[in-house]
Amino acid sequence: MTTLNKGDKAPHFSAVDQNGTLRTLADYAGKKLVVFFYPKASTPTCTVEACNLRDNFAALQSSGYEVLGVSADGISAQKKFQEKQLLPYPLLADENLEVIKAFGVWGPKKFMGKTYDGIHRTTFLIDENGIIEKVITDVKAKIHSEQILG
């Protein structure tokens, strides 16, 4: 689904997180960044994925990564998700789909025989210079941190 590949420059983004704080790609200059896109806060698979990253957050940080989650949920849904699951990283509330579309993860999906547009669960690893070093399109929610670190 994504049009971005390893070696591409990550798109500039700016969106508010669950606390209303504006976050941009520039905020992470000089740091490695995991940007994971998920379809909807507080749904079963998204919760498993987010909690796997939470449970392995120390290992991700030891490897030099900051973590940022993104979905089209509003600030209040993101805040509730973050607080309920004790997520130690920010969640962007990209209601206008600007970040989602910039990373190319919005498009047709099928569920129960119906086709609709939505977010494709995808993770990008971005290096200290803003270059994509890995794109994970076949996200395995239960072992996602292993996919990132492996």
Q: List the catalytic residues.
A: 46
Backbone angles phi, psi at 40, to 5 degrees: -160, 130
DSSP state of 78: H
**Distance, CA of 28 to chain centre:** 14
Q: Nearest-5° angle of CA 140, CA 145, CA 150?
A: 95
Bridge-partner residues for 116, per DSSP?
109
Instruction: Please state, in angstroms and rounded to a whole number, the distance separating the CA atoms of residues 31 and 126.
Output: 8
- Please compute, for residue 22, the number of CA atoms within 13 A of its CA located in the half-sphere on the CB side: 4
